[in-house]
Amino acid sequence: MTVIVRDLRPDDPADTEGYARVRHLALPYILFTPESVRHLVTHSHPDARFRPLIAVEDGEVIGAAGVSLAYDSPEPGQGLLNVYVRPDRTGRGAGRMLVRAAEEHLDAVGATTLYTWVLDEPANRAFAERNGFTEGRPAHFLRLDLADGTLPPVPETPPGVELRTAADFADDPRALFELEAATVADEPGMVPIELTDYDAWLEQNWRHPLLNHELTTAAVVDGRPVAFTVAYTDGGGRYVTAMTGTLRTHRGRGLAKLAKTHSLHRARAAGVTEAFTGNDAGNDPMIAVNKWLGYEICATEVRYVRPAG
């Protein structure tokens, strides 16, 4: 059977369902649904030059790739390509074809450096290295069993601190954007990010179909959110932390732990059965928080890099 690579058609349910299925089978620690795939394609920032690709064999989607420029990085030319193949459809050349198509696109839009995430498994590492990539920073996926596991009790809320959900900011979420912009700039990683476009954030993040406004929780001091945890849910019992952070001026008070613990307790009460999160391997403060909450490492990814061209 012949494998072909082509652009994903966001209005074709078979394409979006196939893309989401590949992502789930290859990397089940991040939530993808057909609706979130359509949102990603239709609301991507124009400067990202985002191109979703699929590998198709006999009418079935067996591979997927997300290809873009890190438009929100202060360092221009940072190309991002992440390739996934269904574990039961490897060895057919789909991954290699997706990489080649992704490289051609990124070369055409001016990428100077290429970054990719690779699961820490021998076959995946070897594939990246055969394609000219060299090893960079590792990061961990962590899982928390909310069906049969235990959660620590909710910490006491300090005087002067109020907990609010994202739903409480529905009329004007700009304060949450400003908090995310301040905290994402401090995240460890190989590609620095600066959030400056509020309208793009509204379209891509605030209106994301998986964002749970009731479980996303912020610690508020003097009317201003100073720490938060962002929760995505898929409606099927799974929860993913998309971001957790605290303003520098309010760190050391346990506010991120407080917000995340509250969110997880409410998630379990709402029927969520498992929660996932991710940590850069060098992010010791959040690793400590997640260990306290009961999360356990379930997989490791490594970011690989190489010059474009």
The three-class DSSP label of residue 106 is helix
Residue 168, token pair as written in the block: 């409480």
Are 24 and 61 within 8 A, CB to CB? Answer: no
Last residue of a domain, one of 90, 111, 132: 111
Last residue of a domain, one of 55, 89, 111: 111
Residue 22, token pair as written in the block: 């590949």
The three-class DSSP label of residue 252 is coil
Q: Distance of CA 182 to CAs 89, 194, 197, 227, Å?
A: 42, 9, 13, 10
| pLDDT(187) > 90 | no
CA dist 224 and 201 (Å) reads: 19
Q: Distance of CA 284 to CAs 20, 152, 184, 292, Å?
A: 31, 20, 16, 12
Q: For residues 181 and 237, state if they share a domain.
A: yes
CA dist 31 and 122 (Å) reads: 24
Q: Can you say how many angstroms the Cα of residue 285 is from the centroid of all Cα atoms in its chain?
A: 19
Q: Is 98 among the domain residues?
A: yes
Q: For residues 150 and 258, state if they share a domain.
A: yes
The three-class DSSP label of residue 76 is coil
Read off the pLDDT band of 185 (50, 70, 90).
confident
The three-class DSSP label of residue 186 is coil
| pLDDT(1) > 80 | no
Q: For residues 190 and 105, state if they share a domain.
A: no
Q: For residues 106 and 196, state if they share a domain.
A: no
Q: Is 127 among the domain residues?
A: no
Would you call 58 exposed, middle or buried from its count of C-beta atoms within 10 A (0-12, 13-18, 19+)? exposed
Q: For residues 97 and 217, state if they share a domain.
A: no
Q: What crossing angle do the helices spanning 255-269 and 284-293 adopt, rounded to 10°?
A: 40
CA dist 260 and 55 (Å) reads: 38
The CATH number covering residue 184 comes to: 3.40.630.30
Are 137 and 189 within 8 A, CB to CB? Answer: yes
Are 127 and 230 within 8 A, CB to CB? Answer: no
Domain count, the chain: 2
pLDDT digits (tens, 9 = 90+) for 38-93: 999 999 999 999 999 999 999 999 999 999 999 999 999 999 999 999 999 999 99
Q: For residues 176 and 61, state if they share a domain.
A: no
Q: For residues 295 and 155, state if they share a domain.
A: yes
| pLDDT(167) > 90 | yes
Q: For residues 95 and 207, state if they share a domain.
A: no
Are 94 and 58 within 8 A, CB to CB? Answer: no
Domain with 231, as residue range(s), is 144-300
pLDDT digits (tens, 9 = 90+) for 269-308: 999 999 999 999 888 888 999 999 999 999 999 999 999 9
